[in-house]
Chains A and B, each alone.
Chain A
Amino acid sequence: MNKTYLIFKHEFLHTIKRISWIIMTLIVPVIALLGIGIIALVTTLSEPPEDVIQVIGYVDEVGIFENQTTQGYTRLVPFASKEDANQALVRKDVTEYIIIPSDYTSSGIIQRYTLEKELITPPTTASMIKSFLTGNLLKDKVPPDIVTLIVSPLNLEVTRVSEKGDIALEQSNFGNLIIPGVFSLLLGLALMFGATSLISGLGEEKESRLIEVLFSSVSIRQLLISKVLALGTAGLLQVLVWLISAPLLLNLASSSFGGFMSNIQIPGNFLILGIVYFILGYLLFAVLSIGIGAISSNAREGGELSMFYTLTSFAPLWLSSLYIAFPNSSIWVVLTIFPITAPVQTMLRLGGSDIHLWQIITSIGVLVLSIIGGLFLSIKIFRMNMLMHGKRPGFAEIIHSLKNA
């Protein structure tokens, strides 16, 4: 039987039997979707129940805030002094109270007192207070329906139009970013774990001299290409499991978490490009890991050196808030083409903005060339340095090995 296939089979089975691979493939996607659902649940549960009247106390030092004291399910109750309001808070007659100081009309500052420990004022509470204040400030100056508009002037309904002027098939929706965002996170993690695993395996083989036994049986090219292909195939299997399970999990989640999950859409070209970028990402990281494995003195050092590209691959996720705010900036095009960030960045962009075909083609082309060129260089470096363990070659030695291998 072909030796490349034998090594490929051994490495592939070794990869998919790893606990980290199993966890990443089967459990992490479930956790990721659970996380989304939990966020939605927490948000929902943090809001006070709609059928329970929330009482907020207030002390009006200006003297004009006496109307509009019922705001939805919130009732505002006046107190003569701060001390009275504070005692009511302590007795839990009110959930919180505000002080409208005498200089409010010039300063705009309201003091809020609550027993709860919060990071920010709950948006619903802030909205009720704002509505109360605005209603009283504009009382008798504008009609009540206009006051409502002043409080919330903007309720955008966005419709995406195609370049031909028709209504586009795929509409913009924050939910479109969910699956690509989760997928890109999983991709980044999978690449990191895969790279670490490959480096660890190579380091173990070098340290135990097993690499010499292997090279007495097969060529360096056979061994390294087999490892790269095995990792890529494991990556393909992983992405297929995720892609097949994503709609099933979303359906399950929708029934558990209500309509929120049903808003999540999977972008049309996501499936094919997801598979392509996943495989190319795995292959690129495998090639880089071989090079790192070649120059590392041991597995641990290899893991540390690999942080350079594994952490860099997460850059699109670190910058995701910027991406959400400015999805069409040209920096994302650069990150789409730069090979280390291309897989994760492209996945993100698929959900949030248009990617021109030339960018996809260029990105894939650069990735493929990087993989081929990287494999060639890594094999050369590996050949010269595979027997060196306990000592890392210097930069000059690496250049020498590239010239002479």
Chain B
Amino acid sequence: MTAVAVHHLYKSYAGKTAVKDLTFSVDPGEILGLIGPNGAGKSSTIKIILDFMKPDSGEVKIFGHPMNEACKNQIGYLPEERGLYKKLTAIDLILYLASLKGMDKVTAEKKANVLLQRTGMLESKKMKNKEMSKGMGQIIQFIVTIIHDPKLIILDEPFSGLDPVNTEIIRNIIGNLRDEGKAIILSTHQMNKVEELCDRVLMINQGQAVLYGDLKETRARFSKNSVQVNVEGEIGDLPGVIDKKFNKGSVELVLAPDTTPQIILDQLRDHGIAINRFEITTPSLNEIFLNIAGGNHE
């Protein structure tokens, strides 16, 4: 069963269109990357999914039903900013919010200790939230999000404030959750994380979906006919190469439409050029993002 199904969603307020004819879905066992420039409508979309606000029109179904109280226990939500009760300790906060998700205290405490141990926060569990750094608070909030084993997890900038070690830990946990069959929506500006983790991507700009589909296919769709090479010596002029771009020891050879990368590889070999690296150029998601979002702003 599809975890989240959004159909023709519309939402505007104060005369501004926040979401326009948005349709997408998220299935169990996949991570959907939700990206877009600031003010694109990502947060509004998340809030409508979570039933924080009603759409002007359109439909949202969670596990086949409109959002209801029973669904809420199956959802874990990590907002963009750190939402913690300052005077509570980490463990008290986790247990309280876990209880609101229907967990009993004993189970919640056991699971909390496991997650705290895994994230290196076990010794800090009695620390008050106001004493924590941003990164520590972020980890606690992440634990709150997943402790009740939700089937649908919505993460808004989960890596914010984390050092590289904790980023890696959280990244691994998210990957494990996906492998366990959770449906995950990951909203972030860190395109490299989307590329590492996500199966599909939805890019919103000015309230509309401008990109939606499998990540690899999307990158392939936007790929240029070019190769990145790193060779010994000069390349010289090669037939079929219409442009060369030098970048930190590598060269990007832009090919003519009728020239394939294989032809260039053969030519380099035939010229006796020692090749250290030969790679078909695939644009990064960041480049695709800039291409689409930047183009629409002009």
Residues of A within 8 A of B (CB): 1, 3, 6-7, 10, 204-205, 208-219, 384, 386-387
Contacts and interface: CB of A to CB of B under 8 A. Distances in A.
A217 B72 contact: yes
B72 A213 contact: no
A223 B144 CA distance: 18
B96 interface: yes
Contact of A218 (B81, B100, B141): B100
A295 to B, nearest CB: 15
B84 A208 contact: yes
B47 interface: yes
A336 B49 CA distance: 47
B222 interface: no
Nearest to B80: A209
A8 B89 CA distance: 19
Interface in B74-102: 75-77, 79-86, 96-97, 99-101
B100 A6 contact: yes
B210 interface: no
B87 to A, nearest CB: 8
Contacts of B227: none
A184 to B, nearest CB: 32
B246 interface: no
B217 interface: no
B79 A212 contact: yes
Nearest to B69: A219
Contacts of B77: 212-213, 216
A215 B50 contact: yes
A107 to B, nearest CB: 69
Given A212-B77, A387-B53, A217 B82 contact: no
Given A212-B77, A213-B79, A387-B47, A218 B72 contact: yes
Contacts of B47: 212, 387
A319 B57 CA distance: 54
B108 to A, nearest CB: 12
A383 to B, nearest CB: 8
Contacts of B141: 213
Nearest to B150: A216
B84 A10 contact: no
Given A209-B83, A215-B50, 7 more contacts: A6-B100, A204-B86, A212-B52, A213-B77, A216-B75, A216-B77, A217-B73
A197 to B, nearest CB: 13
The secondary-structure label for the interface of chain A is: helix
B99 A215 contact: no
B183 to A, nearest CB: 15
A201 to B, nearest CB: 9
Contacts of A204: 86
Contacts of A219: 69
Interface residues of B, dominant DSSP: loop
A210 B101 contact: no
Given A3-B100, A6-B99, A210 B52 contact: no
9 contacts: A10-B96, A209-B79, A209-B80, A209-B83, A210-B84, A212-B47, A212-B79, A216-B77, A387-B47
A392 B288 CA distance: 37
A384 B13 CA distance: 11
Contact of A215 (B52, B85, B86): B52
Contacts of B69: 219
Nearest to A211: B83
A6 B103 CA distance: 12
Contacts of A214: 100
A215 B53 CA distance: 11
Contacts of A210: 83-85
A208 to B, nearest CB: 5
A10 B96 CA distance: 8
Nearest to A10: B96
Contact of A1 (B53, B75, B99): B99
Given A216-B50, A387-B47, A387-B53, A208 B97 contact: no
Contact of A213 (B73, B83, B86): B83
**A3, A7, A213, A218: which has the most chain B beta carbons within 10 Å?**
A213
Interface in B181-205: none
A277 to B, nearest CB: 31
B84 A7 contact: no
A217 B84 contact: no
Contacts of A7: 100
B72 A216 contact: yes
B144 A213 contact: yes
A129 B69 CA distance: 81
Contacts of A217: 72-73, 97, 100-101
Interface in B147-188: none
Contacts of A387: 47, 52-53
Contacts of B86: 204
A217 to B, nearest CB: 4
A7 B96 CA distance: 9
A351 to B, nearest CB: 39
Nearest to A387: B52
Contacts of B82: 208-209
B95 to A, nearest CB: 11
Given A216-B72, A387-B53, A209 B100 contact: no
A393 to B, nearest CB: 10
A197 B200 CA distance: 45
The 7 closest A-B pairs by CB, nearest first: A210-B83, A217-B100, A216-B77, A209-B79, A209-B83, A209-B81, A208-B83
Contacts of B97: 213, 217
A213 B86 CA distance: 15
A35 B74 CA distance: 57
Nearest to B44: A387
Q: Which of A6, A205, A208, A216 has the most CB of B within 10 A?
A: A216
A218 B72 CA distance: 7
Nearest to B86: A204
A215 B76 CA distance: 11
Nearest to B87: A14
Contacts of B144: 213
Nearest to B154: A216
A127 B79 CA distance: 75
Contacts of B80: 209
